[in-house]
Structure 1
């Protein structure tokens, strides 16, 4: 088995990104081995379809000002990161600021350091494509992610409700700079 490589995502990755995003969201937030958030089935289904349908991913890959990277090994996507113009509801955040929107590592790739590598690539890109601070939204219960982001200089700057259908996740807004 070869070592994973980090590369920019392309339209050819849309199907695999959709599957990886859906599976990682379920493994992380829904399954009992993860956080076991009890999302209502209809809300979860609607969220997954809107967020991780291949057509939705294709559209997001074309979004102006956004960037995507994947960690790939032997033709299999193991993790991805996505950045873009800020969308977080914070009074000091503007669309010219950069936001890390997703950093997903598959369960099978946990512990390989891919999340940290993708984060470093994303932060470098964000620093070069922002007119202000960097932003991240993170689920309030994900202490591991919060600890990782704190190690890179992010501090809690606010809170908001992130919709998963009608269900609202309590999220923290993190800022650096």
Structure 2
């Protein structure tokens, strides 16, 4: 295995990012946390959230930013940021939000998530005009601990739709 390369994402990364996002969501929430999403909710959600067209449109949006980690030429992790969209009364679109920080199961433990988070936080410092925001599943204690180490604190809760299923999420804020 070659040393990981972290770089800004490119438009031609959309298929790899789509596949990695879908696989990591399933590995983390379906297999890892054993959330029993009904198939009629999960499949349309995965198609909408991680479709190649959706990913390509997000990559092309100048209001946000994406970074990828590659190992041996394959995209194995990513982070994406953009205007805040979390449902908190103090949140504004002019604030920055970490939208996703995903590390594929096979490359967890290499420090890629921490490196990607540092890039995302730097971007958020430069592009937001207020607090920084993250939505995290209420049962993902490992992620909550990581974000707390960077100064994020619980500021609220909401239900994140996966089809008709609702995941109970925490809204974290820094600043």
Q: TM-score normalized by structure 2?
A: 0.99
Q: Could you list the per-position Cα deviations for residues 89-116 of structure 1 after superposition, in whole angstroms to 9, with x for gaps in the alignment? A: 0000100000001000000011001000
Aligned to 1:26: 26
Q: Could you list the per-position Cα deviations for residues 45-104 of structure 1 after superposition, in whole angstroms to 9, with x for gaps in the alignment? A: 010000111111001111231100000112101100000000000000100000001000
Question: 1 CA distance for matches of 2:80 and 2:74?
Answer: 18
Aligned to 1:11: 11
Match runs of 1:48-59 below 5 Å = 48-59=46-57
Aligned to 1:82: 80
Asked if residue 169 in structure 1 is aligned to residue 147 in structure 2, the reply is no
Aligned to 1:123: 121
Aligned to 2:2: 2
1:38 counterpart (36, 39, 62): 36
Tell me the SS of whatever aligns to 1:99.
Answer: strand
Point out where structure 1 has 5 or more consecutive residues left out of the alignment: none
1:157 counterpart (149, 155, 158): 155
Q: Aligned pairs, how many?
A: 175
Tell me the SS of whatever aligns to 1:80.
Answer: strand
Q: TM-score normalized by structure 1?
A: 0.98
Tell me the SS of whatever aligns to 2:155.
Answer: strand
Aligned to 2:94: 96
Match runs of 1:54-65 below 5 Å = 54-65=52-63
